[in-house]
Amino acid sequence: MGRFSKFLGFISLCVCLSACGAPGPQPPITPLPGESETWYGAYIEDQRVGYVRRVTGKTADGGVRLYTESFISARALDRPISVRSITTLEATSDWKPIRYFEKIESRTTKPFVVRGERQGDKFHIEMFVGGAPFKERTFDLNELTFPQLVDNLIRLEDLAVGKEWSFVIPNPADFLPVRMTIRVEKLTEITVRGVPKKVFQVVSRLGAVEEISYIDSAQPEPYRIEIPAMELVCVLEDKKTAEQISEMEPADIDLIYFSSVVPSHGGTIPDTANHVRVRLSGVSFEGLHLAGDYQKADRGKPDGLTLDIRRPNRSILNRPPAAAAPGRTPLDTAALTPAVRQLAEKLRRRSPLEFTQEAFQWMQQNIRKEITPMVSNAADVLDLKQGDCTEFAALFHALATADDFPCKIVSGVMYVDGQYFYHSWNEILAGDEWVPVDPSNTEIPASPKHIKLIEGDLLSSWPLLQCLRKLQIDILDVN
């Protein structure tokens, strides 16, 4: 269902921890003379889950070298997992990027490596999965900057409460451009190794991801970094303390169940359920897409809302789609490669039901269900022949669109074994109704165990982060 990879994807956006890669050669990590080295312990719910190490120094030609190593060791679905990310960025003395290297490693998936180099006023990135070329991107250095350089760029000015900056950076998940905003919120006091310090509280926002740093002019790196939505805290520590986590002794916290939602009231939802009524609370509903043809929302009380979710009649999918289809998910035209179009032509059928059946059968037979966090569109999924719920939804969306079946990508939560887990699926137009279908679980139509929260692709799913650890669900009625 993609629960593990997407939750670690949230972590990767914040502290460069991603679920991809395999152990292999690493660039030198021994600090050179004159380089500064900073260590952080990473904690969730006061449990140590890993560390972050940063090294800043000079290159042989007088430029800047920034090295970051992030490591997490915890559990996922009761199995030990560990992920290590290593990034090296070389820049000129005025913070213009020259070279980039990233390697992400774990035991569970193929190696992921990124190499990049400046070419005039452009920066060219090549990505490799399992040692094979995967994709490449080129961006204009006048339009984008690397997130590793942002802290240094804002320090070129004096920090003061109320100061703001805005940068366009490559999204760590797929290297597509996203906007980061930074604001110095206030002057506050924190305790660092038993000593109180006056520091600036600086808030960085990348979509719905909010990162809070506590910094001053005396320390080149923040004293503390917080990701409130995930209850993740990185605390400045000495090397010996920070490294007290290993693959052999993972933290006793399960990242999958940590991000799930346990209904606070109500019974279970059987597979045969045709109607589910739930109440949502605990989060702001602004930016969420809760209404649908088979999911009706009633706001009722100001502190929550009620959803009525029905199982569509399968026969509805025999209707040809209506001519007008407002609200469909826009398709990244880069996804419609000749290979995607050729496959869509093979799957072309008369009705949404026939097409969905053929597409689901082909995907189950040809796409491996595997954690794949660095895939951004259907063309990538088809090239790698692997993915989880997000990738299945992206590929189905592209194939349906190519065959003139209006389609949406939707995300939210799905009930499994007494809990709601984060998940992605689709809605396809039949007649004038948007009918939910679930390609990774081959549900035609999708059951009322699904609660839609968002419409749109992965880049549109930022508002889901506001629901982490906050969303409350009460099951009111099942029949």
For 194-203, which contacts have Cβ atoms below 8 Å and span 24 or more sequence positions?
A: 197/223, 199/223, 200/159, 200/161, 202/154, 202/159
Residue 431: DSSP 8-state: B
Higher pLDDT, 456 or 157: 456
Backbone angles phi, psi at 364, to 5 degrees: -65, -30
- 11 has pLDDT over 70: no
So what's the pLDDT on residue 373?
59
So what's the pLDDT on residue 33?
57
Maximum average pLDDT range among 49-53, 129-133, 297-301, 371-375: 49-53
So what's the pLDDT on residue 27?
42
Cβ pair 134, 383 in contact under 8 A: yes
CA gap 107, 105 in Å, rounded: 7
Strand partners, 87: 68, 102
CA gap 4, 80 in Å, rounded: 12
**pLDDT tens digits along 234-276:** 999 999 998 888 766 788 888 888 888 999 877 789 999 999 9
User: What residue type is 251 in one-letter code?
Assistant: A
Domains of the chain: 3-254 (no CATH), 260-478 (3.10.620.30)
CA gap 156, 89 in Å, rounded: 19
CA gap 371, 368 in Å, rounded: 9
**pLDDT tens digits along 69-127:** 999 888 877 788 888 889 999 999 888 899 999 998 876 667 789 999 999 999 999 98
What is the DSSP track for 68-79?
EEEEEEEEETTE
Place of tokens 């346990």: 262
- Rounded to whole angstroms, what are the CA distances from 70 to 15, 55, 428? 7, 12, 40
- 421 has pLDDT over 70: yes
Q: Which structure tokens are listed for 98?
A: 């020259």
**pLDDT tens digits along 326-367:** 777 777 677 788 999 999 999 999 999 999 999 999 999 999
So what's the pLDDT on residue 154?
81
CA gap 1, 256 in Å, rounded: 11
In this prediction the pTM is 0.83
